Amino acid sequence: MNFRPPIQSQEKEERKEEQDQEKTRCEWDFNLSSVVSNSNCIGATSDTVGVIEFDPSDQLLATGGIARKIRIYRLKSLLPNDTTQGIINSTSLLDHTSVCDYYICAPAKLSSLRWRPNTNGRVVGSGDYDGVVTEYDLEHCMPIFERDEHGGRRVWSLDYSHSSSPLGASGSDDGTMQMWDTRCVGNECVAMAQPSISGNPVCCVEFDPHGGELIAMGCADRKAYIYDIRNMSNPVSSFHGHQKTVSYVRFLGDGMMVSAGIDGCLKLWDTKDTQTIRTYKGHSNNRNFVGLSVWRNGGLLGCGSESNEVFIYDKRWGNPIWVHGLEPTIGGGRDQRFISSVCWRQVGNDECTLLAGGCDGVLQVFVGKRKSSFSGEHSCESSTL
């Protein structure tokens, strides 16, 4: 009787990547609509865009970063071109001072922003380098809530629940994720988790955006975790596969989650059996946080790169379907520019909008339209201005 040994998991993944490479195709036309910069301070690393977030209406967006400012924009101000036909003949060059509605000065460098649900886009929360979580009333441009429970250690990530429980959560350099009730005036922590036994930093947190009772975390111990917020004593799932710090986690829906690591890859996970469904490679990331965002309606993933390029992946294939950069840099050093944050607008099915921010403070606005006569023979190529 002939015996055939089982195929090892690494061989399976390599075979899957080969199949993905053969089938990868782009069903979208993407264009760079606008570039927003500061004419008075071009290329300044002190203006790094660390986070971009759309409000629940997808009409406003907030940015934050090293400059200690929360900037508020209206999307229509960033899209002066008519994008209804999905065709952009030129890229608009805009200035922050002319398109930014207003800004709020923060006391420290910002690493995270989230719009608080059920406030009609009026309240935005921030996490900063000094370990403080602050909520701002945008109508009055003033702080209305503050908690400083991470011992002065940087808050990497902040999120709010979308379930019936009005909870907020923050992950920090102190190795903990702390959760609080947003209805309470006090600073009491209602739950806390330390995913890493050795206390490695919690770099990212996200509640299930579909309203479930789960919260995901990524840590510097190279693992991602999922907890049930009703019992935070132990994780319900652990995800092993990254070779370096897990910098971002994002729920994708249908029992799937995407993680990004400073090992130059994204991973799609089955949240039920904790197995890797697919690994996405192509972008460069071995030092900095370059952003990760998922567009759930279209099944697209967006991330930055240390080559100063924006990468778009289709969840079905491991290779990027589109890459775009602004003057890719050569070599290394502190002067090397990179994409530091990305964010998808969630509305729509056949049209999409992706924003990317750079370590030089530049914002790029991309629009995409699904190809009306896609035949399966089209391919996407990288493009550079």
**pLDDT, average across residues 225-244:** 96
Q: Considering the domain boundaries, does residue 7 fall inside one?
A: no
Cα 92–73–285 angle (5° rounding)?
75
On whether the CB atoms of residues 342 and 291 are closer than 8 A, the answer is yes
Q: Give the tens place of pLDDT for each residue, 160-207.
A: 998 867 899 999 999 999 999 988 876 679 999 999 999 999 999 999
Counted domains in the chain: 1
Cβ atoms within 10 Å, residue 13:
15
- Average pLDDT of span 49-68: 96
- SS3 sequence, 284-324? CCCCCCCCEEEECCCCEEEECCCCCEEEEEECCCCCEEEEE
pLDDT of residue 165: 73
What is the residue range of 303's domain? Answer: 26-371+380-384
The pLDDT of residue 93 is 94
Tell me, what's the pLDDT at 163?
80
Looking at the predicted structure, is the pLDDT value of residue 1 above 50? Answer: no
Question: Quick check: is 117 in a domain?
Answer: yes
User: Would you say residue 17 lies in a domain?
Assistant: no
Q: pLDDT at position 196, please?
A: 93
Report yes or no on 152 lying in a domain.
yes
> Within a domain: residue 3?
no
The C-alpha atoms of residue 246 and residue 113 are separated, in whole angstroms, by 19
- Choose the weakest-confidence range: 19-23, 169-173, 195-199, 282-286: 19-23
Banded pLDDT at 158 (limits 50, 70, 90): very high
* Mean pLDDT calculated for residue range 56-69: 96
What stretch of H or E contains 77? helix 75-78
**Does 235 fall in a domain?**
yes
In a domain, 18, yes or no: no
- 94-118 tens-digit pLDDT: 999 999 999 999 999 999 999 999 8
Mean pLDDT of 14-19: 57
| Mean pLDDT for the stretch of residues 237-257 | 97
Average pLDDT over residues 226-230: 95
Q: For residue 308, what is the domain's CATH number?
A: 2.130.10.10
pLDDT tens readout for residues 206-226: 999 988 899 999 999 999 999
Whole-angstrom Cα distance, residue 60 to residue 57? Answer: 7
Spatial separation of the C-alpha atoms in residues 80 and 101, rounded to whole Å: 15
Q: Between the ranges 34-38, 266-270, 331-335, where is the mean pLDDT highest?
A: 266-270
Is the per-residue pLDDT at 382 higher than 90? Answer: no
What's this model's pTM, rounded to 2 decimal places? Answer: 0.88
pLDDT of residue 385: 38
Mean confidence (pLDDT) of the chain: 88
- What's the confidence (pLDDT) of residue 2? 40
Q: Is residue 8 part of a domain?
A: no
